[in-house]
Chains A and B, each alone.
Chain A
Amino acid sequence: MEFLKEGILEALRLIRTLDPDVLSAALVSIRLATLSTLLAAVIGVPIGFLLATANFPGRRIVVLSFNSLLSVPTVLIGLLGIGLLSRQGPLGTLNLLFTPTGMVLGTTILAIPILVVFTLSSLKALSPLVRETARTLGASPLMVAWTLLREARHGFMAAVVAGFGRIISEVGIAMMLGGNIKGFTRTLTTAIALETNKGLFGLGLAMGLILLGIGVVVNLALTQVQGR
């Protein structure tokens, strides 16, 4: 209990004094999660949409693959990322290993299946009548697509929240592709891992609480956007 109290007091102190190290780690975490979620949405939503509406050979296998990818271990993505981004790897010349962009690539890949699967299932849950009605009312295919996505927006929001949550809470990819560089690629999660290794549990717990706070704020904000 002493440990918990110490952690909470430390968290409050760090927030009140705007501790620069914690602030920078929090900003990196937020930037990373926001950007990767956006990218994953931009890529994942159209894929989910196609899988829900179009029919093509192998569609079931693709759906199955995305479902399985939901549980891909972050360290595996980190490992593959190192293989790709290392100087010896095929993308080595881009010099992306141990940079924020490298982390973004990894966490985007992590979140894409979440966005795909959530979009797919929320579209599947819609009544076929929605599309029929839109079409009978003379909507163009793009407008039909728009109508469907709007009708499924709750599922879409859930996808964004889940993707954001998965990214901001993961530590494997950030550690392996970011390298835990202070003030550059150090996220709240990698900082917690480091402080725990240093035996500074109070500081680690404090950052954990801040991380939790970010999750709550993001959820509240998105619930507001989603409305009612």
Chain B
Amino acid sequence: MTDRFLKFSTVSSLLGKVALVFLIILGIWGLWGGVGEERIRLATTTSTENSGLLEVLLPPFEKRFGAKIDVIPVGTGKALRLAAQGDVDVVLVHAPEAEERFVSEGHGVNRRDVMYNRFVFVGPSSDPAGLKGVSDGTEALTRIEAQETLFVSRGDDSGTHKKERVLWALSGVNPEGDWYLEIGQGMGATLLMASQKGAYTLTDIGTFLAYGGRLDLKILVDGDPRLRNPYGIIAVNPARHLHVNYPMAMALIGWITSPEGQEIIRTFRPTGEPLFNPVAVP
């Protein structure tokens, strides 16, 4: 089969038809992709999504404003990078220093405080590193490192991971060795792995409580003021990224920081205990 029996003209007309079919199929797909509905993209942390908060907080907004919010759950670091590239319209994240840098570099505007909860150290009830009774986050890490007990780290540049690294830096010890597992996954996956391996980890209280029954872990260190976990919402700078849906992003910021939105956050208690404390309206 080496001779040419197809003339060039035949091939090109064939290719023309192929291209036509291609365009038709693409067109059908385009029509299917939601006509006339306004969509905005919210990049947020896995903690807000996994806890189930967004499922009660966003639908009233969508109903009232006739918009659909596409929630992209990633770590804080990735959420801010997506926003800096203009791939999303608004971010809801928890890493105050990174957020400040994000705004001061001109990527985002109109940052508002939304709510806070706290980080806790959790681990197996046998507590081999003896964390129970410790109230100081850095002391907890020092003990884990001294005993070289298994510790699962998010390792994904998320807000929780950033907080963990700050605490390691403050404790003055360097986490290295086969007891320190950086897994590069979300909060839920990290908790499940810690539970399976009988390891310690740092978690936001919201995700931990939401996962409650599925985990063989106990809260061991709680109450260090440095373990406070504040969430902020920021609109992507429309002067830098002309295409972003800035009005709708501001409407979402308005909704989440409104008395109604804050009330939904305050009364969100899937396990009986409040998961987030609203702070936007005094």
Please report the C-alpha to C-alpha distance between residue A142 and residue B70 in the assembled complex, in whole angstroms.
Answer: 47
Question: In the complex, which residues 72-96 of chain B have their Cβ closer than 8 Å to any Cβ of chain A?
Answer: 72-73, 85-87
Q: Write the nearest CB–CB distance from B255 to chain A, whole angstroms.
A: 19
With A31-B32, A181-B72 already in contact, the answer to whether A54 and B6 are too (CB < 8 A) is yes
Task: Pick the contact of A197: B10, B22, B68, B186 (CB < 8 A).
Answer: B186
Total A-B Cβ pairs within 8 A: 98
Chain B residues contacting A98 (CB-CB under 8 Å) are 41, 70, 72, 87
Q: Does A122 contact B (CB under 8 A)?
A: no
Q: Cβ of B86 and Cβ of A181 under 8 Å apart?
A: no
Q: Cβ of B5 and Cβ of A141 under 8 Å apart?
A: yes
Q: Write the nearest CB–CB distance from B244 to chain A, whole angstroms.
A: 9
Q: Write the nearest CB–CB distance from A91 to chain B, whole angstroms.
A: 12
Q: Write the nearest CB–CB distance from A34 to chain B, whole angstroms.
A: 10
Q: Does B2 contact A (CB under 8 A)?
A: yes
Q: Write the nearest CB–CB distance from A48 to chain B, whole angstroms.
A: 13
1/0 contact string of B1-33 vs chain A (CB within 8 Å) = 111111100110011001001100110011011
With A144-B5, A199-B211 already in contact, the answer to whether A179 and B185 are too (CB < 8 A) is no
Q: Does A121 contact B (CB under 8 A)?
A: no
Chain B: interface residue count, which band? 35 or more
Task: Pick the contact of B71: A87, A99, A181 (CB < 8 A).
Answer: A181
Q: Does B189 contact A (CB under 8 A)?
A: yes
Please report the C-alpha to C-alpha distance between residue A19 and residue B211 in the assembled complex, in whole angstroms.
Answer: 22
Q: Write the nearest CB–CB distance from A147 to chain B, whole angstroms.
A: 12
Name which residue of chain A comes closest to B236, CB basis.
A87
Chain A residues contacting B197 (CB-CB under 8 Å) are none
Please report the C-alpha to C-alpha distance between residue A40 and residue B46 in the assembled complex, in whole angstroms.
Answer: 34
1/0 contact string of B133-159 vs chain A (CB within 8 Å) = 000000000000000000000000000
Q: Write the nearest CB–CB distance from A4 to chain B, whole angstroms.
A: 18
Q: Cβ of A101 and Cβ of B71 under 8 Å apart?
A: no
Chain B residues contacting A97 (CB-CB under 8 Å) are 87
Name which residue of chain A comes closest to B10, CB basis.
A141
Please report the C-alpha to C-alpha distance between residue A144 and residue B214 in the assembled complex, in whole angstroms.
Answer: 63
Say whether chain A's binding surface is mostly helix, strand, loop, or mixed: helix
Chain A residues contacting B70 (CB-CB under 8 Å) are 98, 179, 181, 184-185
Q: Write the nearest CB–CB distance from B98 to chain A, whole angstroms.
A: 19
Chain B residues contacting A39 (CB-CB under 8 Å) are 22, 25-26
Please report the C-alpha to C-alpha distance between residue A5 and residue B275 in the assembled complex, in whole angstroms.
Answer: 33
Q: Does A165 contact B (CB under 8 A)?
A: no
Name which residue of chain B comes closest to A93, CB basis.
B243
Q: Cβ of A87 and Cβ of B241 under 8 Å apart?
A: yes
Q: Does B50 contact A (CB under 8 A)?
A: yes
Q: Cβ of B85 and Cβ of A198 under 8 Å apart?
A: no
Chain B residues contacting A199 (CB-CB under 8 Å) are 188, 191-192, 211, 214-215
Task: Pick the contact of B6: A35, A141, A185 (CB < 8 A).
Answer: A141
Q: Write the nearest CB–CB distance from B154 to chain A, whole angstroms.
A: 12
Q: Write the nearest CB–CB distance from B222 to chain A, whole angstroms.
A: 22
With A53-B1, A142-B10 already in contact, the answer to whether A180 and B73 are too (CB < 8 A) is yes
Q: Does A136 contact B (CB under 8 A)?
A: no
Please report the C-alpha to C-alpha distance between residue A11 and residue B7 in the assembled complex, in whole angstroms.
Answer: 54
1/0 contact string of A90-114 vs chain B (CB within 8 Å) = 0011010111110010000000000
Q: Does A221 contact B (CB under 8 A)?
A: no
Chain B residues contacting A135 (CB-CB under 8 Å) are 5
Please report the C-alpha to C-alpha distance between residue A199 and residue B214 in the assembled complex, in whole angstroms.
Answer: 7
Q: Cβ of A198 and Cβ of B6 under 8 Å apart?
A: no
Chain B residues contacting A215 (CB-CB under 8 Å) are none
Q: Cβ of A86 and Cβ of B18 under 8 Å apart?
A: no
Q: Does A209 contact B (CB under 8 A)?
A: no
Please report the C-alpha to C-alpha distance between residue A97 and residue B72 in the assembled complex, in whole angstroms.
Answer: 11
Q: Write the nearest CB–CB distance from B6 to chain A, whole angstroms.
A: 5
Question: In the complex, which residues 112-165 of chain A have their Cβ closer than 8 Å to any Cβ of chain B?
Answer: 124, 128, 131, 135, 141-142, 144-145
Task: Pick the contact of B18: A42, A92, A145, A196 (CB < 8 A).
Answer: A42
Chain A residues contacting B11 (CB-CB under 8 Å) are 50, 54
- Per CB-CB distance, the 6 closest pairs between chain A and chain B, nearest first, are A87-B86, A199-B214, A197-B189, A181-B70, A197-B188, A55-B2
